[in-house]
Structure 1
Amino acid sequence: MIPAPPHALDPATAQRFARIALGHVTRQYPHKLDHVMAEPQDVRAPAELHPIFFGSFDWHSCVHGYWLLLRLLRRFPDIAAAADIRRLANAMLTPEKALAERAYLDRPASAGFERPYGWAWLLALHGEAARHDAGWADALAPLARAFADRFLAFLPKLSYPIRTGTHFNTAFALILALEWAEERDPALTAMIRARACDYFAADRACPGWEPGGDEFLSSALVEALCMRRVLPPAEFRIWFADFLPDLARGEPATLFTPAFVSDRSDGKIAHLDGFNFSRAWCWRAIADALDPRLAERACRAAAHHLEASLAYVAGDYMGEHWLATFATLALEA
């Protein structure tokens, strides 16, 4: 039996995370744009370019900030922040604003905009919005369809997976996109499953050389979770035993050791708190497919990683504008 997790998402934590997100999704500055300027007229403020997702320091963090708010609203509809979340979503997640976000993608210089991390999070946001009876999903649908089509065009030409533990990671994007596609897009579902196997099925004896100095994803464990989502349980167990053959002996030890964060005011180094959360998320999410001894080890590792970073979800804006999302993934897994 998998041990009960020592940390869980409860109403008090949900209220705290909601207030954090409400404090940044409409905060325009400071802001880091993913924006190619082809002519002088392209020099514009974030809110002019992106009428919804102009906050949270960057576009993708704003997208998953809204995902976090809608997720918390659904899970905990009676928290004190619920009315503010609904009010904000009603004001921002409108057809007119979403179509303006969609129009930005038609710029010739926007072909690679937010690929693939922002693409995947937008699909996740649309999927979460669809679980609410408020019209938000209808408003976001054209934008979601545009990013789904980008995945359909991009994955066939992505010859090799991107394994780095940052925004470019292929496995992480496939996990989020698959969850959206399974309910809506059979062609994208089939493509994600096929490409994940193309990219990762032959991987053996992962050395666990992580984390890198600015990573927020565990390249090894995110890959494992991706394969957990695309393979039947029995096939996954066979694959996982070959991928990490020495796990029962605690090797590679790096996968069980939380990252040390030396400076949380440095935006890149602050990624390492997210790395600890992503490790916890992955360990928890694959534990049910492992034999009991390995499952227990995985859950202990998840708890250890959560404990290393839960106290630092807020405090410095370099982490505060995004870490609650990844803490929520870990706490929900």
Structure 2
Amino acid sequence: MSGGPVLDEHIAIRFSRIALGHIRREYPNKPDHVLDGPADARTPSELHPVFYGSYDWHSCVHSYWMLAYLLRRFPAIETAGDIRALFDAQLVPEKIAAECAYLAAPSARGFKRPYGWGWLLKLAAELAGLPERRWSDTLRPLAGIFADRYRDFLPLATYPVRVGTHFNTAFSLRMAADYAETADDDALLNLLRDTALRWYGADAACPAWGEPSGDDFLSPALIEAECMRRLLPADDFPAWFEAFLPGLSRTHPPALFEPARVSDRSDGKIAHLDGLNLSRAWCWRALASALPAGDDRIAAMLKAADRHLAASLPHVAGDYMGEHWLASFATLALDAR
């Protein structure tokens, strides 16, 4: 196993303080909002009374996910009271109803598809694991809307999207799978699995030649592999993985093993590359955990994870362009086993 950093209580306190510092910070804000008329020119908190902070809606959602996750993992941390108070103030029926109402507009049909969809369902799955059932119960109508959107959209989605940003479809399927399993929604889980097989099942000899692009925060190659690890039956994944990345024991493709260099962390797009390093570390660790003990690929994969963490873990805070979201990705990486 890797000797690199793992999630502990000290890190959990630090990350939760970062999120608590911005999850209700309304400005600066980058809305993803269609104006159907003058009445739609409203402030972020009027549009989204729960998820208005953290610079944008999806970052706010996965900041809530991280806080829920840290609260479940470390229920007695010193920030636990602040997290519970936040959830009690924000995850209430009238505010969730307003988030649901926003989605009813025809122009909101594609709102945050697919990245925000996956994160919202990931949050719902995490809240379901907490002893305070009221938060999960309150979020359920909003989660149900997004689950239905997967059911409506995936049969229409002829092709996957393989970019390294918010539009990546493999990431969304992977996150939604946790919700489908937690909710005992076998029909949705089967739809996610069937879609992954339709989109990615025949992929082989991935060259990763376009990685990284200048504003990636996901590796198209590694997140596809992580999606398939999560959704394929355990007995079927090894053969698919070997065909997809056949050169891993030779550290090939080399681009996947080299952390991205971040030249300007005040530039929001360039700062995405810190997220790429963190999400690659998450994928490398998760994928290595699926291989049998003694597999000659594991050491190189875990070494790559540690190098990517070392490159970007020190930079989860410092400039708001990264600070409003990077700790969530670091949490995924640090606890990926």
Question: TM (normalized to structure 1)?
Answer: 0.98
Aligned to 1:288: 289
Encode CA deviations 1:251-308: one digit per residue, 9 max, x unaligned: 1100100000000000000000000001000000010223521011111110110000
In structure 1, how many angstroms separate the alpha carbons of the residues matched to 2:103 and 2:286?
33
Match status 1:88 vs 2:86: yes
In structure 2, how many angstroms separate the alpha carbons of the residues matched to 1:284 and 1:38?
45
For structure 1, the 5+ residue unaligned runs are: none
Aligned to 2:143: 144
In structure 1, how many angstroms separate the alpha carbons of the residues matched to 2:90 and 2:233?
39
CA contact 2:2–2:303 (8 Å) conserved in 1: no
CA contact 2:2–2:306 (8 Å) conserved in 1: no
- State the Cα distance separating 1:234 from its structure 2 match: 3.2
Counting only pairs closer than 5 Å after superposition, residues 1-333 of structure 1 correspond to structure 2 as: 3-134=1-132, 135-184=134-183, 185-209=185-209, 210-291=211-292, 292-333=295-336
Q: Which amino acid aligns with 2:300?
A: R
Encode CA deviations 1:90-137: one digit per residue, 9 max, x unaligned: 000011110110010001210010001111111111111111122000
CA RMSD of aligned residues (A): 0.9
- State the Cα distance separating 1:61 from its structure 2 match: 0.3
Deviates further, 293-302 or 27-36: 293-302
In structure 2, how many angstroms separate the alpha carbons of the residues matched to 1:17 and 1:211?
26
- State the Cα distance separating 1:249 from its structure 2 match: 1.1
Q: Which amino acid aligns with 2:269?
A: K
In structure 1, how many angstroms separate the alpha carbons of the residues matched to 2:69 and 2:234?
27
- State the Cα distance separating 1:68 from its structure 2 match: 0.7
**Sequence identity (%):** 59
Name the SS of the counterpart of 1:282 in structure 2.
helix
Name the SS of the counterpart of 2:208 in structure 1.
coil
Distance 1:183 1:90, change over 3 A: same
- State the Cα distance separating 1:161 from its structure 2 match: 0.3
Q: Which amino acid aligns with 1:331?
A: L
In structure 2, how many angstroms separate the alpha carbons of the residues matched to 1:144 and 1:174?
15
Q: Which amino acid aligns with 2:229?
A: R
Encode CA deviations 1:217-252: one digit per residue, 9 max, x unaligned: 010000001111122233211111111111111111
Q: Which amino acid aligns with 1:326?
A: F
In structure 2, how many angstroms separate the alpha carbons of the residues matched to 1:169 and 1:5?
30
Instruction: Give runs of ≥4 in structure 1 deviating > 3 Å.
Output: none
In structure 2, how many angstroms separate the alpha carbons of the residues matched to 1:228 and 1:208?
18
In structure 2, how many angstroms separate the alpha carbons of the residues matched to 1:74 and 1:227?
26
Question: TM (normalized to structure 2)?
Answer: 0.97
In structure 2, how many angstroms separate the alpha carbons of the residues matched to 1:249 and 1:11?
36
In structure 2, how many angstroms separate the alpha carbons of the residues matched to 1:300 and 1:141?
40
CA contact 2:51–2:61 (8 Å) conserved in 1: yes
In structure 1, how many angstroms separate the alpha carbons of the residues matched to 2:158 and 2:310?
38
In structure 2, how many angstroms separate the alpha carbons of the residues matched to 1:309 and 1:21?
17
In structure 2, how many angstroms separate the alpha carbons of the residues matched to 1:233 and 1:97?
40
In structure 2, how many angstroms separate the alpha carbons of the residues matched to 1:236 and 1:16?
36
In structure 2, how many angstroms separate the alpha carbons of the residues matched to 1:233 and 1:22?
37
In structure 1, how many angstroms separate the alpha carbons of the residues matched to 2:233 and 2:37?
50
